Amino acid sequence: MPGTGRLTSDRHLLGIEPLTREEILRILGRARELRSQDGAVERSLAGRSVVTLFYEASTRTRASFELAAQKLGASIVSLASSSSSVSKGESVWDTGRTLAAMEPTVIVCRHKSAGAPHLLASAVESVSDTKVINAGDGAHEHPTQALLDALTLLDRLDTLEGRTIAIIGDIAHSRVARSNLFLLKKLGATVLLGGPRSLVPDQLTTMGGVIVRDVDTIIEVADAVMMLRVQFERLVGPPPFPSLSDYTRTYGLTVDRANRMKPAAFVMHPGPMNRGIEIDPEVADGPTSVVAHQVRNGIAARMAVLERATGMGPWAGRRAQ
């Protein structure tokens, strides 16, 4: 495949894995500042343009990137694969070169294949100075979800050093889990992973998580519990568990389980939720849930990431890391 090697710009955001702890903290700090400015936010992307290029469905990520770009004063072009020349078979490489020739400042890309945003960034770099932000690639990474999750965790916990964060569910197919694992470890948390072997294979320990098969044990020690949906669209082969009701009984965050969390512990979910499967509706909408807060934080986190890509805010005159 052409040009998938080393990128020359450090302002693309393709994953959490390559970011330093300091850079993550800089993004989170800037997101907090932008959030506190609310309606008075400086239009630091005025005269710039952002293309959202989504090859996979999205509600939260796409809407919040577009709102974030709008708040910063950028103009926005939205492209979905169904209504673009992707539907005529145009490749990621050619799409990247074509869009880059129009010199947008940033392209935000979601794709069902791991590595597609990296390929897009290579294509773009062969034409212009446009930067690429990964909005979720297959089961690989979803960096801005991990950043908004960290912002939400730190709103409640002040620090992640010495904290225990649980991630429960379909971790094998989850880009959210991978990006969160990278980020939470860099910020000093212990990450407990729960779920069946088919969805939480033993090999995941190589990423620094601690697998605990008994979800009831995890629930009682975690400072925050992040539930993940089963990604039925990515499953191949035999069903990963005997039945949905077996899954809910063994791994779901039921009202009964949620009642056994530590007193100050809280519940997160990146969405979309499968209510009644991995999480009871009463828990999803209950007082320990911070799901709506996560969604709100998505705008501030993505504003900061857009500024980083364009070299604005704290990145003016400074290299990204």
Where does 228-284 show beta strands of DSSP type E? 266-268
Task: Give 61 or 164: the residue with its C-beta nearer to ligand CP.
Answer: 61
For ligand CP, which stretch binds (CB under 6 A), given 4-12, 53-61, 227-235, 283-291? 53-61
136 contacts ligand CP (rule: CB under 6 A): yes
Residue from the set 73, 208, 271, 311 that interacts with ligand CP by CB under 6 A? 271
What is the closest distance, in whole angstroms, from the C-beta atom of residue 56 to ligand CP in the complex? 8
Q: How far apart are the first and last CA of the chain?
A: 27
Exposed / middle / buried, residue 106 (Cβ in 10 Å: 0-12, 13-18, 19+): buried
What is the closest distance, in whole angstroms, from the C-beta atom of residue 100 to ligand CP in the complex? 24
Report the distance separating Cα 318 and Cα 321, nearest Å: 9
The three-state secondary structure class of 302 is helix
What is the closest distance, in whole angstroms, from the C-beta atom of residue 281 to ligand CP in the complex? 18
Q: Are 200 and 171 in contact (CB under 8 A)?
A: yes
297 contacts ligand CP (rule: CB under 6 A): no
Task: Give 97 or 269: the residue with its C-beta nearer to ligand CP.
Answer: 269
145 contacts ligand CP (rule: CB under 6 A): yes
Task: Give 61 or 274: the residue with its C-beta nearer to ligand CP.
Answer: 61
Which residues neighbour 176 within 8 Å (Cβ) at sequence distance 6 or greater?
A: 142, 145, 146, 149, 228, 270
Q: Are 272 and 187 in contact (CB under 8 A)?
A: no
Neighbours of 89 (CB within 10 A): 7
Paired with 108 in beta bridges are 52, 133
Interacting positions 55-74 with ligand CP (CB under 6 A): 58-61
What is the closest distance, in whole angstroms, from the C-beta atom of residue 134 to ligand CP in the complex? 11
Amino acid at 77: V
What is the closest distance, in whole angstroms, from the C-beta atom of residue 309 to ligand CP in the complex? 18
Interacting positions 241-270 with ligand CP (CB under 6 A): 270
Task: Give 61 or 130: the residue with its C-beta nearer to ligand CP.
Answer: 61
Q: Are 308 and 22 in contact (CB under 8 A)?
A: no
Place of tokens 């807060």: 293
What is the closest distance, in whole angstroms, from the C-beta atom of residue 136 to ligand CP in the complex? 6
Interacting positions 169-228 with ligand CP (CB under 6 A): none
Task: Give 242 or 272: the residue with its C-beta nearer to ligand CP.
Answer: 272
Task: Give 61 or 297: the residue with its C-beta nearer to ligand CP.
Answer: 61
What is the closest distance, in whole angstroms, from the C-beta atom of residue 142 to ligand CP in the complex? 6
What is the closest distance, in whole angstroms, from the C-beta atom of residue 57 to ligand CP in the complex? 7
52 contacts ligand CP (rule: CB under 6 A): no
| CA angle (96 as vertex; 310, 138 as ends), nearest 5 | 90
Given the DSSP bridges, would you call strands 266-268 and 131-137 parallel, antiparallel or unpaired? Answer: unpaired
Q: Are 218 and 225 in contact (CB under 8 A)?
A: yes
Task: Give 73 or 271: the residue with its C-beta nearer to ligand CP.
Answer: 271
32 contacts ligand CP (rule: CB under 6 A): no
Residue 23 tokens, joined: 């850079």
Which residues are at the interface with ligand CP (CB under 6 A)? 58-61, 136, 142, 145, 270-272
